[in-house]
Every structure is written in structure tokens, then in C-alpha cells.
């Protein structure tokens, strides 16, 4: 079949009774590619054509070609009216249309137009060929009357016989029911030939004859007549040796062979018999008998011959197919059309039939496969080349036990020596509880396997970097933990790795560069590890490594050091050069852990610990860390309670003008009076508050408290009129979005003028949320609130952002101020920041001024404001109040 897909589609249409079915295509599907059908239609002596509803010839047989003196193929696609000489085309078409709609009038004598211009009288008898719901074709039989010189009676009889042949032919076409076909044939023979007995006899391998279908026989169908073909004296042997039909005028005087007893018992006198060809030689005989002494005419013989041809075609094509697809015409067509390979085997395991797909998939020509041993051809070895014993073959096992099997994955070999994966179903063919053979339906699953592979690849790999993903890592970690638990070898470490400041790359250079950098990092990590180690990307800039430490404790840390070492080399992307650092947390030995979750949790804790020490550090998880982690948990519950019970309060650290040391404001710093542990530093509880979300109520408390305090001071103290109060704003508070609204509400509630409030936001937080910050800070500034960039110098301020941010002040981080008088590097950094502030027209405030020397240094650089122990520590409110100077 040319195009299995297209054919399949048409089959579906036929099944649906689809109206859209194109008759030409459907016909070619039903008959066109069926060699057996072609052979049959070409074998009959009458002209035959199939026409569609528009009267176009879809197919014509050789006999019609002879009658019209044209090549049969040239007739295809032509309107039949072209070959009609005695009627105008419209009239002829109308007649045809009416016939298809159920009318009559087609059956008559017509005059046909030959190519050589001759007009010949023909007798036409049509048949209707219903292909699907609404699609009807006609099958017309055409007999050339000039060859006969008939009398009227013979003519009518002939036409009638033609109709019968076409009817039988159609039945053969549309049904795989071979027994039904035989019964129908013998019934028609009796009525048409006017005989009393007709039968189909099958020739058995042992020379016996079996009555397959019969009318008028004294014996029932299925009767076996032993030894009827094995002697030269038998009628069966004679019929086989004769090339054509054998006419027996009188059984009483028959000398050529011994007349079978059954005909004599039935009282038969004359008869005609002919051979039915089968797949492998002779199938059997078709016979008609009468009790009268009668000479069968050439017409009768012709008719019988046509019927025998039909039967021959039918039995040749059926056989194993019939057992498989039973009486289902579509089943047979599908067998031909499907892409699935289907082949039958007999009891011995030899091939009885193959469909075209089998030939195509295995690479063997279909016609060479019958009788071959499929096991030897394509199932002989396993993919590794080792022989596949017959005793293990699921296909051959079905022949032994009759149980259907579905093998989801196996391998067949092609004729060219290549191997391909298959999925197949082996169905036994049972007849009267006897295993007659089996049908194997197989499919090439190369594509399916590819898809499966891609799927498992996707399920276990990170798309961006090609490393394993979290799911795979956890699976492997679980396996490693099981191995150590069951006392096997092993010492596995887990590393958790987070790229420092990766967000900065993404935000400032874009995701494309970020992705490329990540791929590069992944590659370098992978190269740094030992082959047995498993590395996975957990998402974002997080990686995890399962280090197979074998018997070397501490290998985790050593591996981490190698990674830090590797990262000292720059990564290059286009014109950019990156120095990447990673913070690495290590669980040195997974033994002793219950589950993967705890391992990952502790590695994560260690990683955070490493990060808190600065960039590019490693930390091995230890007990103290665990304690810290559980302490954190206690802190969260404690902090919640503290907020409810008023355990939090604010300390106020004065901010002063450097040249004259006059206090110009205060920074509000949170404190926690812990009922057991005493006063806790914000360095302890602010991170906990941030990660638990408690920073929001805490932040609200701080704002309300310090604004209220400032308002009172202003009310009470005339010197406070020009002062400001600074509150720290955390990342979470900033991200919350409605910060401006919250601040506005607090200012409204406390009655503080916005210009007295200064909000400090850490530089790194601002830069990480720069887009959002620009928008949000603008709103705050529009309200009149002042803004300060805290811890300046520790983040990576992009100058362009800084310029866009509506801030008023930079606060130089304490780390640069401390010892700046003795550390020239720090001194230069402070100088740069002061100059930057001046350039951007911003105030600048130095944090952590502890010594006079630092103060002198700051003064020499022109820094305006300061804050530090030198001037004052953070103080309780009433003590801080004492720093409010008298008005000038």
C-alpha cells in the first residue's frame, strides 16, 4: 500500500460511514491494491468496471479493455458515457444515477463505441457496491454480443449469469467469510445451472476429500471421503491432471476415472467439475451434478470457471488471515494497511503469512517469507549477540501453551543485520481447542524508546546546565544512605553550594549572561569533581554534590577547597570577566542521618553559616550549628511572644555633625529584653525576624515607637525641631510593596512631620531590588520622608542606579571607618565614598566612629555626619533625650 496513513484515514472514514469518503480512494482501498481482487476481476471473461456516482470509471478489467479495444488503465477516470454510442451522455448519466438510487433500466442491450470506431452491441448488467454509508459505486458487467450470435434465451441466461458472478465477486470482496462464500456459490449454482447437486470439496493432505459446502448431497457438510485423490483411478486425481473443467456426460459410462460413490448414491447422472486453486497448489473441487443426462454448454462451463476463479482467489487470500480477521473485511484491509507488522505461524513455528509491514520492518521480501522460520530469521540472538534459545522465545511458548503474551520490549533482527526494538503481542490461533498456530503483531518501538529516554533524561536533568536535577540527586543520596546503613562500603559527604552575589550578575547583565555564566560554572564544577561524585543543580544558583568519600573522611572539605581554588580563575563571557565565589556547606558524613531531608537541611545550614562569614567560604556542619539551628527555632517562638508581651524596645544612638559634634538626630535600634537571656542584640533576632516573616510586625512596632518618640521630643524640647529620627527598613519590609502606605499611616497616627523621619535601607537590599526601589522610594520621598543608604560600600552599587534612586544620604559602613586612620586602603575607600556623595549631592554619614583618629580622618575628607561610640552608644530613650541640644 502506498501510504499507510492515508489508507488508515480512509478506513476510519469507512468505519464511520463518513460522508466525505472519496469513492475513488475508497475503491482503491477496497479493491485497488488487492492483488487477489484484481486477479479475480481480470480472470473472468466478462468485461467489468467499477464506476462512481458520477459515472466515472474507477477501474476496468482486461475483458472490458478487449471489448472496447482500449488499455484498461486508459479507461480509469473517464466518464462511461464516452463509450456509449447509442445514447446521449446526459441521458446515460441519468440512467446510471437512477440505478444507483435503486432504480432499474441499466440492464439492457447497449451499443458500445470502440477505439477503432466500431460500434458493438453489448449486454450490460450492473451491481451496486455500497462502500460506506452514503457512498455507492456500481460494478457493471459487459458482454460483447457480437461474439455469440445468440438466441434470445441464451442471451438472457448469460446476462443473468453475469449478474451472479458479479454478486459472488462482491461477496468475496466484502467478506472474509470463506465458508459463507462457498455456501452461497453452491446455492447459486443449483438455481442458475438448474442442477440438483453442487458442492465444494476440499482436498486433504492424505488424499481424502472433505465436503466443505454442498447442496443436494446425501451427506452433511464436513463429511470426509477417504482415499479419493491418491489413486490414479480417482476423479480427484483426474481433475488435478486436467488443465480445465471436466465435463461428465454420463456417470454410468464414465471410463476416465471411478465416479465417487456419493454422486451415484445421490442418483446423479451428469456433471461438471473443476479445480479450485489454493495457496500451495490445489485446494479442491467445485462440482455440479444433475440426475438428467445433460450436456453442459460452454456458457455453463464458463460460468462455473468464473465461480471457481472467485473461490480460488478467496481461498488463496484467506487461510490464516481468515482465522485472524474472521469475517471482518476491514480487519483484512487493516492487516494490509497497518504499520504494525503482523505475521502468522503454524504449529511448527513456520510463517504462514505476513503483511506488508512485516516485510518492510524486517527487510525480507514478503513473498519469500512463507514457510520460513521467523525465530531463525529475526529472533535468533539477543542484542549482545548471545543466542536466544528457542525454548525461551515467548512466541514459540504460545504455540506450546496457547496463552496469549504481550512482550513490551524485545529485539528483532533485520535482513541487513541491524537490530531494532519491538513490542509485540502473540495470540494463539485455536480451533476446536487445538492450537493451530499463532499470530504475532509487532511494532517498531525505536521512537518510543527514544521518547522514553528523553523523558527520563528530562526527569533527571536540569535543562539549563545539563547537570542532574534535585530529584535525581535525592534518589542517589537515598541510595548512598541505604548503602552505608546496610553496613556496606562508603563514606559519603554532601556539599551544598551557593554562588555568591549571583543575583547581581542576573540583574545587572541580564538573564542571558546569567544563564551562560551558570552553564560555565556547572561545567567547571563538574570538571573539578571526581568521577564518582554526583553533582546536581537544585535551582537558581544552588548546587549540591554527593561526594563519594570511600574511606577518606574529610574528603568533602578537600573537594570544597578544590572548588574555591578553581574559582580563583576568572570566568569569561564575551567582554566580561567574572570572578565567581561560592559559599559551601558540608555534611561530612551522611552516616547516622535518618533521612535525606535532614542531610540537606544541615548542609544548607552550614552553607548559610559559610555565607555569613563572607564570600568564598566553606563550613562543615557540626553540632554547634545544629544547636544554632534549633536555637533559631526557639527564637522564632520567643520573638512572637516578645512582640505580644512588649519585650521589645528601642535604643537611640545619636547622630552628630562631625565638625562641631552637635547631635542632629538619632538612629532607632531594636532591642529585646529576653525574660531569661537578658538583653538581646538585633544581630541575633533581626535575621530570625526576617526569615520568619516577623520582621513585618516588628518593623511596624519600630516605626510607630520611634515616630511617636520623636514627636514627643519635638513637642517637649525646642532643640529637637530640626532633628530627625532614623529607622532601619529590612528587605522584606521593602518588598512588601505597601511600605509607603504603612509609613504614611504611622506618620498620620503619631502626627510626626515626614521630614523628621529618615529611613535607612541597606545598600545590597536596595541594589537587589533596584527597579522596585526606585518606584517605591520616589513615593516615600514625595511624601517628604528622607532616605539613607545604609552600610554603603558593602553592596555593589551601580552608579547609574544610585543616580536614579531618590536618596538623600549615604552611610559609610562601619568596616571602612574602623581603623581607617591606620589602613590606607580603607581610607581611600572612605575618600571615594565621600567624593561620590558630594558628586551626587548627597549627605554622608560615617558609622562606628570609635576614635578621635578616625574622626580626624573623616574630617580631613570632608565627611559631614557621624555616629559611633566616640560620641554616644545606643541609649535608652530617656538617656538619649539628654543629647538633644538646646536650640541655636
Among 47, 216, 874, 885, binds ligand C2E (CB under 6 A): 874
In the chain, DSSP finds a helix count (H) and a strand count (E) of 35, 33
Residue nearer to ligand C2E on the CB measure, 309 or 728: 728
Q: How far apart are CA 610 and CA 565, in angstroms?
A: 16
d(CA 280, CA 600) in angstroms, rounded, equals 73
Binding site partner of 46, from ligand C2E, Ca ion, none, Cβ cut-off 5-8 A by kind: none
Q: By CB under 6 A, how many residues form the interface with ligand C2E?
A: 22
Q: At its nearest, how many Å lie between ligand C2E and the CB of residue 641?
A: 18
648 forms beta bridges with 672
Record the cell numbers describing residue 149, joined without a space. Answer: 450470435
| From 451-459, 464-472, 715-723, 862-870, span contacting ligand C2E (CB under 6 A) | 862-870
Q: Under the criterion CB under 6 A, does residue 888 sit at the interface with ligand C2E?
A: no
Among 74, 630, 681, 835, binds ligand C2E (CB under 6 A): 681
Interacting span for ligand C2E (CB under 6 A) from 234-242, 541-549, 624-632, 677-685: 677-685
Instruction: Assign 770 to helix, strand or coil.
Output: helix
Min dist CB 623 to Ca ion, Å, is 32
Q: What is the DSSP letter of 851?
A: S
Cell of 746: 504611622
Cα distance between residue 459 and residue 456, in whole Å: 5
Would you say the C-alpha torsion 252, 258, 259, 264 has a positive or negative sign? positive
Q: Among 843, 850, 853, 862, which residue sits at the site for ligand C2E (rule: CB under 6 A)? A: 850
724 binds, among ligand C2E, Ca ion, none (CB under 5 to 8 A by kind): none
DSSP-derived 3-state class of residue 243: coil
Q: Does 300 bind ligand C2E (CB under 6 A)?
A: no
Query: Do the strands 57-60 and 434-444 form a parallel or antiparallel pair, or are they unpaired?
Result: unpaired
C-alpha cell recorded at residue 809: 544620604
From the list 221-229, 520-528, 542-550, 843-851, the region that binds ligand C2E by CB under 6 A is 843-851
| Residue selected from 270, 312, 362, 730 as contacting ligand C2E according to rule CB under 6 A | 730
The continuous run of DSSP H or E covering 860 comes out as helix 852-861
Q: Which of 82, 848, 862, 877 binds ligand C2E (CB under 6 A)?
A: 848
Radius of gyration of the chain (CA): 49
Q: Look at residue 248 and give the partner it binds from Ca ion, ligand C2E, none, a contact being a CB closer than 5 to 8 Å depending on partner kind.
A: none
Q: What are the cell numbers at 497?
A: 553550594
Q: Which H/E stretch holds residue 346?
A: strand 341-346
Which one of the spans 332-340, 481-489, 571-579, 866-874 is the region binding ligand C2E (CB under 6 A)? 866-874
Residues 757-786 that bind ligand C2E (CB under 6 A): 760
CA 872/CA 888 separation, integer angstroms: 21
Contact yes or no for 268/196 (Cβ under 8 A): yes
Task: In whole angstroms, give the CA distance from residue 608 to residue 140.
Answer: 89
With CB under 5 A as the contact rule, the residue among 705, 763, 790, 809 that binds Ca ion is 790
Q: Which positions ≥6 away from 828 have C-beta within 8 Å?
A: none
Q: Binding ligand C2E by CB under 6 A: which of 37, 599, 669, 807?
A: 669
Annotate each residue in 797-836 with x if it binds ligand C2E (CB under 6 A) or - if it does not, as one string. -----------------x----------------------
Shortest approach of ligand C2E to residue 867 CB, angstroms? 6
Strand 678-680 versus strand 663-674 pairing type: antiparallel
Q: Among 847, 857, 866, 883, indicate the residue that binds ligand C2E (CB under 6 A).
A: 847
As measured in angstroms, the least distance from the Cβ of 472 to Ca ion is: 43
Q: Does 791 sit near Ca ion (CB under 5 A)?
A: yes
User: Per CB under 6 A, which region of 565-573, 591-599, 680-688, 763-771 contacts ligand C2E?
Assistant: 680-688
Q: Which does 164 bind (CB under 5 to 8 A by kind): Ca ion, ligand C2E, none?
A: none
Starting at the earlier edge strand, list the strands of the sheet with 582-587: 534-539, 542-548, 492-499, 582-587, 618-620
Task: Work out which of 309, 506, 653, 750 binds ligand C2E, going by CB under 6 A.
Answer: 653
**Closest separation between CB of residue 771 and Ca ion, Å?**
23
x-or-dash pattern for ligand C2E, window 340-369, by CB under 6 A?
Answer: ------------------------------
C-alpha cell at 511: 538573564
Q: How far apart are CA 286 and CA 304, in angstroms?
A: 8
User: Helix, strand, coil % (nearest 5) of the chain?
Assistant: 45, 25, 30
The option from ligand C2E, Ca ion, none interacting with 653 (CB < 5 to 8 A, set by class) reads ligand C2E
790 makes contact with ligand C2E (CB under 6 A): yes
Characterize the bridge pairing of strands 351-354 and 405-413.
unpaired
702 touches ligand C2E (CB under 6 A) = yes
Report the partner that residue 682 touches, choosing among Ca ion, ligand C2E, none (CB closer than 5 to 8 A by kind): ligand C2E
CB-nearer residue toward ligand C2E: 457 or 869: 869
Per CB under 5 A, does 760 bind Ca ion? Answer: yes
Separation between Cα atoms, residue 568 and residue 549, nearest integer Å: 24
Rounded CA gap, 496 and 482, in Å?
Answer: 20
When asked if residue 728 is in the footprint of Ca ion (CB under 5 A), the reply is: yes
Does residue number 700 form part of the binding site for ligand C2E (CB under 6 A)?
A: no
> Segment contacting Ca ion (CB under 5 A): 570-578, 614-622, 722-730, 875-883?
722-730
Is position 579 an interface residue for ligand C2E (rule: CB under 6 A)? no
Cα 212 to Cα 181: distance, rounded to the nearest angstrom: 11
Nearest to 192 by CA among 227, 226, 165, 218: 165
Q: Is 663 in the site for ligand C2E (CB under 6 A)?
A: no
Q: For residue 487, is it left (φ>0), alpha (ψ between -120 and 50) or beta?
A: left
CA–CA distance from 237 to each of 223, 225, 288 (Å)? 19, 14, 18
Binding site for Ca ion (CB under 5 A): 728, 760, 790-791, 847
List residues near ligand C2E by CB under 6 A: 653, 669-670, 681-683, 686, 702, 728, 730, 760, 790-791, 814, 847-850, 867-869, 874
Amino acid at each position: 500500500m502506498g501510504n499507510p496513513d492515508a489508507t488508515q484515514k480512509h478506513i476510519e472514514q469507512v468505519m464511520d460511514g463518513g460522508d466525505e469518503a472519496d469513492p475513488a480512494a475508497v475503491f482503491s482501498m477496497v479493491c485497488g491494491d488487492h492483488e487477489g481482487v484484481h486477479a479475480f476481476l481480470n480472470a473472468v471473461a466478462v468485461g467489468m468496471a467499477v464506476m462512481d456516482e458520477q459515472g466515472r470509471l474507477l477501474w476496468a478489467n482486461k475483458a472490458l479493455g478487449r471489448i472496447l479495444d482500449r488499455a484498461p488503465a486508459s479507461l480509469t477516470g473517464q466518464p462511461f458515457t464516452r463509450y456509449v454510442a447509442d445514447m446521449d451522455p446526459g441521458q446515460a448519466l441519468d440512467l446510471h444515477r437512477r440505478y444507483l438510487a435503486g432504480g432499474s433500466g441499466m440492464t439492457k442491450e447497449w451499443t458500445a463505441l470502440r477505439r477503432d470506431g466500431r460500434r458493438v452491441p453489448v449486454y450490460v448488467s450492473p451491481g451496486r457496491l455500497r462502500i460506506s454509508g452514503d457512498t455507492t459505486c456500481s460494478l457493471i458487467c459487459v458482454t460483447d454480443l457480437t461474439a455469440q450470435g445468440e438466441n434470445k434465451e441464451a442471451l438472457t441466461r448469460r446476462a443473468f449469469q453475469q449478474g451472479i458472478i458479479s454478486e459472488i465477486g462482491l461477496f468475496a470482496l466484502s467478506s472474509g467469510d470463506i465458508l459463507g462464500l462457498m455456501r452461497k456459490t453452491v446455492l447459486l449454482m443449483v438455481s442458475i445451472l438448474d442442477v440438483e447437486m453442487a458442492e465444494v470439496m476440499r482436498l486433504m493432505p492424505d488424499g481424502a476429500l472433505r465436503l466443505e459446502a454442498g447442496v443436494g448431497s446425501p451427506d452433511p457438510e464436513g463429511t470426509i471421503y477417504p482415499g479419493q485423490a491418491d489413486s490414479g483411478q480417482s476423479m480427484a486425481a483426474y481433475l488435478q491432471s486436467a488443465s480445465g473443467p471436466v465435463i461428465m456426460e454420463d456417470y454410468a459410462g464414465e471410463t476416465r476415472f471411478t465416479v465417487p460413490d456419493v454422486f451415484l448414491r445421490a442418483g446423479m447422472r451428469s456433471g461438471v467439475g473443476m479445480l479450485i486453486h489454493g495457496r500451495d497448489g490445489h485446494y479442491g473441487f467445485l462440482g455440479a451434478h444433475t440426475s438428467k443426462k445433460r450436456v453442459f454448454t460452454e456458457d455453463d462451463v464458463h460460468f462455473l470457471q468464473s465461480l471457481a476463479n472467485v473461490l480460488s482467489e478467496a481461498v488463496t487470500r484467506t487461510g490464516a488471515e481468515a482465522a485472524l480477521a474472521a469475517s471482518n473485511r476491514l480487519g483484512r484491509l487493516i492487516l494490509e494497511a497497518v504499520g504494525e507488522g503482523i505475521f502468522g505461524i503454524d504449529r511448527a513455528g513456520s510463517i504462514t503469512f505476513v503483511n506488508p509491514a512485516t516485510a518492510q520492518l524486517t527487510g525480507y521480501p514478503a513473498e519469500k517469507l512463507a514457510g520460513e522460520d521467523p525465530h531463525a530469521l529475526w529472533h535468533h540472538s539477543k542484542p549482545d549477540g548471545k543466542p536466544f534459545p528457542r525454548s525461551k522465545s515467548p512466541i514459540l511458548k504460545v504455540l506450546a501453551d496457547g496463552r496469549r503474551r504481550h512482550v513490551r520490549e524485545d529485539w528483532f533482527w533485520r535482513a541487513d543485520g541491524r537490530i531494532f526494538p519491538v513490542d509485540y503481542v502473540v495470540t494463539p490461533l485455536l480451533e476446536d481447542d487445538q492450537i493451530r498456530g499463532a499470530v504475532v503483531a509487532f511494532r517498531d518501538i525505536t521512537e518510543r524508546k527514544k521518547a522514553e529516554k528523553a523523558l527520563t533524561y528530562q526527569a533527571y536533568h536540569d535543562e539549563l546546565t545539563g547537570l542532574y536535577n534535585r530529584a535525581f540527586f535525592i534518589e542517589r543520596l537515598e541510595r548512598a544512605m541505604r548503602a552505608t546503613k546496610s553496613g556496606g562500603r562508603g563514606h559519603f559527604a554532601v556539599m551544598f553550594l551557593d554562588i555568591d552575589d549571583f543575583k547581581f550578575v542576573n540583574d545587572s547583565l541580564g538573564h542571558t549572561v546569567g544563564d551562560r555564566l551558570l552553564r560555565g560554572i556547572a561545567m567547571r564544577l563538574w570538571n573539578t569533581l571526581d568521577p564518582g561524585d554526583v553533582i546536581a543543580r537544585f535551582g537558581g544558583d544552588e548546587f549540591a554534590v554527593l561526594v563519594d568519600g570511600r574511606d577518606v573522611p574529610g574528603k568533602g572539605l578537600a573537594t570544597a577547597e578544590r572548588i574555591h581554588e578553581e574559582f580563583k580563575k576568572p570566568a569569561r563571557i564575551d567582554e566580561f570577566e567574572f570572578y565567581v565565589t561560592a559559599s559551601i556547606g558540608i555534611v561530612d558524613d551522611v552516616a547516622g542521618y535518618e533521612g535525606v531531608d535532614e542531610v540537606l537541611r544541615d548542609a544548607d545550614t552550614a552553607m548559610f553559616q559559610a555565607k555569613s562569614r563572607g564570600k568564598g567560604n566553606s563550613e562543615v556542619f557540626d553540632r554547634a550549628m545544629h544547636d544554632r539551628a534549633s536555637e533559631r527555632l526557639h527564637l522564632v517562638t520567643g520573638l512572637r511572644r516578645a512582640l505580644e508581651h512588649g519585650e521589645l524596645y528601642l535604643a537611640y544612638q545619636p547622630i552628630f555633625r562631625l565638625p562641631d559634634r552637635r547631635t542632629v538626630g538619632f538612629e532607632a535600634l531594636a532591642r529585646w529584653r529576653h525574660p531569661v537571656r537578658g538583653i538581646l542584640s538585633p544581630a541575633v533576632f533581626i535575621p530570625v525576624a526576617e526569615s520568619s516573616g516577623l520582621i513585618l510586625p516588628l518593623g511596624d512596632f519600630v516605626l510607630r515607637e520611634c515616630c511617636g518618640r520623636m514627636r514627643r521630643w519635638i513637642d517637649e524640647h525646642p532643640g529637637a525641631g530640626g532633628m530627625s529620627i532614623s529607622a532601619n527598613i529590612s528587605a522584606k519590609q521593602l518588598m512588601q510593596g505597601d511600605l509607603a502606605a504603612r509609613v504614611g499611616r504611622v506618620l498620620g497616627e503619631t502626627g510626626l512631620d515626614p521630614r523628621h523621619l529618615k529611613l535607612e535601607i541597606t545598600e545590597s537590599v536596595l541594589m537587589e531590588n533596584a527597579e522596585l526601589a526606585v518606584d517605591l522610594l520616589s513615593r516615600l520621598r514625595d511624601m517628604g520622608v528622607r532616605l539613607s543608604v545604609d552600610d554603603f560600600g558593602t553592596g555593589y552599587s551601580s552608579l547609574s542606579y544610585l543616580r536614579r534612586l531618590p536618596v538623600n544620604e549615604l552611610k559609610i559602613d562601619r568596616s571602612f571607618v574602623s581603623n581607617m586612620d591606620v589602613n590606607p586602603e580603607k581610607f581611600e575607600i572612605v575618600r571615594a565614598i565621600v567624593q561620590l556623595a558630594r558628586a551626587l549631592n548627597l549627605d554622608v554619614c560615617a558609622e562606628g566612629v570609635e576614635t578621635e583618629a578616625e574622626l580626624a580622618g573623616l574630617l580631613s575628607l570632608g565627611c559631614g555626619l557621624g555616629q559611633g561610640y566616640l560620641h554616644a552608644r545606643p541609649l535608652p530613650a530617656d538617656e538619649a533625650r539628654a543629647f538633644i541640644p538646646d536650640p541655636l
